[in-house]
Amino acid sequence: MKVTYIIANEGDLEKLTGFLSRPEIDLAFIKPLSSRAISIAERVYSKYKAGLWALAIDEGGNVAGCCALIPREKEVEISTYAVSPEHQGHGIGSALLDFLILEGKERYNQYKTIIMDSWEGNKAVERIMQKTGFVLREAYEDPDKRPPGVKTVVYERGL
């Protein structure tokens, strides 16, 4: 599967909002993105303003995957990471993270640590974190973001 990896510009945001609003993408998150405190459109725009979005684009020009990188107080954080079901399992998610981390090293070189959160039981993320050199930092109950009984897990690695 041939895809290209880009850093999104403002002109890509509508397409990205469309991608994350597809039910099979939205509902793959726990909780779904559409059930979070901010709308998907606000999420896309606010993360674009605060940091950057990396996108995987397929041969037809469609978004195949995305993830955001946001500088926080002490570390940079990966957020809203997804690959469409029809593109999953071909290494696109791993390559997208590698691309994002390289870009992060250039833009945010004052930071030493990169983190990503997920939820307990997300095996694909567990595997990717292991492959890309992240280790588990902590797991905790997170009622605003997850349903009862599903813990948030946080992974970290050096940037």
Ligand X SMILES: CC(C)(COP(=O)(O)OP(=O)(O)OC[C@H]1O[C@@H](n2cnc3c(N)ncnc32)[C@H](O)[C@@H]1OP(=O)(O)O)[C@@H](O)C(=O)NCCC(=O)NCCS
Distance CA 15, CA 44 (A): 10
Distance CA 75, CA 115 (A): 7
Instruction: Give the residue nearest to ligand X (CB).
Output: 93
Size of the site for ligand X (CB under 6 A): 19
Task: Assess 34 for contact with ligand X (CB under 6 A).
Answer: no
Q: How far is the CB of 58 from ligand X (least distance, A)?
A: 12
Task: Assess 54 for contact with ligand X (CB under 6 A).
Answer: no
Out of 76, 118, 129, 134, point to the residue binding ligand X (CB under 6 A).
118
Contacts (Cβ under 8 Å, ≥6 apart) of 102: none
Nearest Cα neighbor of 104 from 132, 75, 80, 124 is 75
Stretch that binds ligand X, among 3-11, 98-106, 119-127, 140-148 (CB under 6 A): 119-127
Distance CA 156, CA 159 (A): 9
- Contact positions vs ligand X (CB under 6 A): 28-29, 81-83, 88-94, 118, 122-125, 127-128
